[in-house]
Structure 1
Amino acid sequence: MTHRRAVLLMIVVTLLWSIAGVVTRHLDAARSFEVTFWRSLFNAIALAVALSAMRGAGLWRQIATGSKALWISGLCWSVMYTAFMVAITLTTVANVLITMAIGPLITALFARIFLHHHLPPRTWIAIAVGGAGIAWMFAGDAGGQGASLGGTLIALAVPLAAAINWTVLQHISHGAGDPDADAPQEDMLPAVLIGAVISAAVTLPLAWPLQATAHDLGLLGMLGVVQLAIPCLIVVRLTRELPGPEIALLGLLEVVFGTLWAWIGAGERPADTALTGGALVLGALVANEALALTTRTTRRLA
């Protein structure tokens, strides 16, 4: 795969990810936990079919005998699936996406604390600026409806779970403290399926009695397959072609696309505090990742 094709595919991934907010705004009767249940259920079914075709019976043996890390990763995915959709039903799409965008900075901070990775000054500055942007957005929510503030706080669970997930995966890939560090690394893709199953199982009792119409099921089925399962499989493949910082930088397009879809397709204009806070967060992330790419390119050329 050429680099240009990989970049184009990553842009397609962000477009698919970004449709959740605007699609959710057009549901008839499904709300809160029921929205999460149906999306996670359809995602689990799609992933089970796709991964079974790719891995065969070995997929289910791997899940049954999976390591602690595989299940921790699956639990993190379940938190991400659940918190995202619950937050979307409580606050604006822009608030949720901007809060999620701080994930790479939280991940960098966790890597410093738990894996003792060195963080360059630019990353510390980006963490401070991004944190200020989120704090500004929280301050704007605090003056409005309690549900909106609650939704933004729930959305914060998504980057926190993602940071834990990534830290665990980094620990495994580096074989820290493992005498068998040279052995082949465990395939962590089934964790995505585990997370979908856990999310659906946990939210079903909270969603009962189910009220989704046929129209709702069609939209939520599309989210589970098109907005989650397909881009998840694509992005795993792209990790072989694109460096992490470049994927993180391109992934920020989800914030832009998602906010625009909600604005155009559902008339949901972001609040001024969300726009200001979002500009700080995105500016910090873009500057940090762009400088990281420049540094790596310079080193390779040298």
Structure 2
Amino acid sequence: MSQLELDHRKGLLITGIGGLVLTADIPLLRLGQGETWSTLFLRSVTTFVAAFLIWAVWSLATGKKPKIVPGRIGLVVAALYGLTSITFMIAVYNTKTANLVFILAFNTVFSALLSWIFLKERPKTVTFIAMFFMLIGVGIIVREGLSSGHVFGDLVALLSTFILSTAITVSRASGKDMGFAAIVGTALPMLVAAYMVSQNGYAVAVPGWVIFNGAVVTTLAFLCLATGPKFISGPEVAMFYLLETVLTPIWVWMIFSERPSDPTLAGGLIIITALVCHSLWQMYHARRMARMTALRHPV
């Protein structure tokens, strides 16, 4: 087996672990049995501390200190990720988990549109087709939210998705490593949540779940998912993000007996099918281009 094949398998394993770990995020938050701002504060603090411990260990081990916030653009990215954390947490407590994770999968559509508008990266025809079907899926879920009283949470989830896509677009435009800037962004929700907690009181019945989530689960998940692109293609990495969309509603269904409604399941199935088909096409296209390049430039 060639080194290239070994690296590819390594990338699939690392990224697969990250995607699986990420599916525990929302269930752990809900197991904490806390109110929105208290949970956000505790999660942000633990993630912030864990990130800087990793940065310190990494710096000592390698002798290199990666930039935490690369300039003013880094502050913008950090602020965007901070806003994403706030809106995400509000959505967790104001809509069903299935609605939330299916709508979060819509970030690929927003990212494609923002890249087209600001980076002049026109999406391919197949991307437009996938976006069309995903719009239908999200529309079904939001419409169901209107009838079930979750429309506010659904709209906040959609806002969170848009802000996240904006952060990704700005990061791509800058061409800089924004890994630690995204984590520094937890300072914003931490400060906002601290103020809200000081006004309304602190209430987390089982803090251990939230601490474990912030310090271990989210940190490990994003480290693995960020390492994946070193070994495998972007479309392949994106496939593993779908694990959260697919598995999280199942965990919540098993733990909390919260069955997704039929319209939500229908909308989610449309979104997942469109995403999987689009990602498979991207993988096929990338490999085809790689083969063509190898034929043009034989070693």
TM-score when scaled to structure 2?
A: 0.89
Give the letter for the 2:24 counterpart.
I
Specify which of 27, 32, 38 is matched with residue 34 of structure 1: 38
- Which residue does 1:4 correspond to in 2? 9
Q: Which moved more, 1:48-57 or 1:263-272?
A: 48-57
Would you say 1:127 and 2:131 are equivalent positions? yes
CA contact (8 A) 2:11 2:229 kept: no
Specify which of 170, 173, 186 is matched with residue 171 of structure 1: 173
Specify which of 245, 254, 272 is matched with residue 282 of structure 1: 272
| CA–CA separation in structure 2 for the residues paired with 1:257 and 1:51 | 30
Q: CA deviation at 1:134?
A: 0.4
Would you say 1:53 and 2:53 are equivalent positions? no
CA contact (8 A) 2:81 2:185 kept: yes
Cα distance per residue 1:232-281 (max 9 Å; x no partner): 22222222112211111221011111111001111111111110111111
- Which residue does 1:177 correspond to in 2? none
CA contact (8 A) 2:25 2:218 kept: no
Work out the number of aligned pairs and report it: 284
CA contact (8 A) 1:249 1:286 kept: yes
Provide structure 1 residue ranges, at least 5 long, that are not aligned to the other structure.
174-185
- Which residue does 2:153 correspond to in 1? 151
CA shift in 2, pair 1:58/1:200, >3 Å: farther
Would you say 1:111 and 2:111 are equivalent positions? no
| CA–CA separation in structure 1 for the residues paired with 2:213 and 2:169 | 27
TM-score when scaled to structure 1?
A: 0.88
Specify which of 177, 194, 197 is matched with residue 187 of structure 1: 177
| CA–CA separation in structure 1 for the residues paired with 2:32 and 2:122 | 46
Q: CA deviation at 1:154?
A: 1.0
CA shift in 2, pair 1:63/1:11, >3 Å: closer
SS in 1 for 2:123: coil
CA shift in 2, pair 1:63/1:21, >3 Å: closer
- Which residue does 2:3 correspond to in 1? none
Would you say 1:74 and 2:64 are equivalent positions? no
Would you say 1:233 and 2:237 are equivalent positions? no
- Which residue does 1:139 correspond to in 2? 143
Q: CA deviation at 1:301?
A: 1.6
Q: Which moved more, 1:100-109 or 1:231-240?
A: 231-240
Specify which of 219, 224, 228 is matched with residue 214 of structure 2: 224
Provide structure 2 residue ranges, at least 5 long, that are not aligned to the other structure.
1-5, 293-299
Cα distance per residue 1:127-152 (max 9 Å; x no partner): 1110111011110110112xx21111
- Which residue does 2:100 correspond to in 1? 96
| CA–CA separation in structure 1 for the residues paired with 2:262 and 2:237 | 28
Give the letter for the 1:292 counterpart.
Q
Would you say 1:24 and 2:57 are equivalent positions? no
CA shift in 2, pair 1:58/1:201, >3 Å: farther
Structure 1: 4+ residue segments shifted above 6 A: none
Q: Percent identity?
A: 22
CA contact (8 A) 1:104 1:248 kept: no
CA shift in 2, pair 1:94/1:117, >3 Å: same
| CA–CA separation in structure 1 for the residues paired with 2:65 and 2:37 | 29
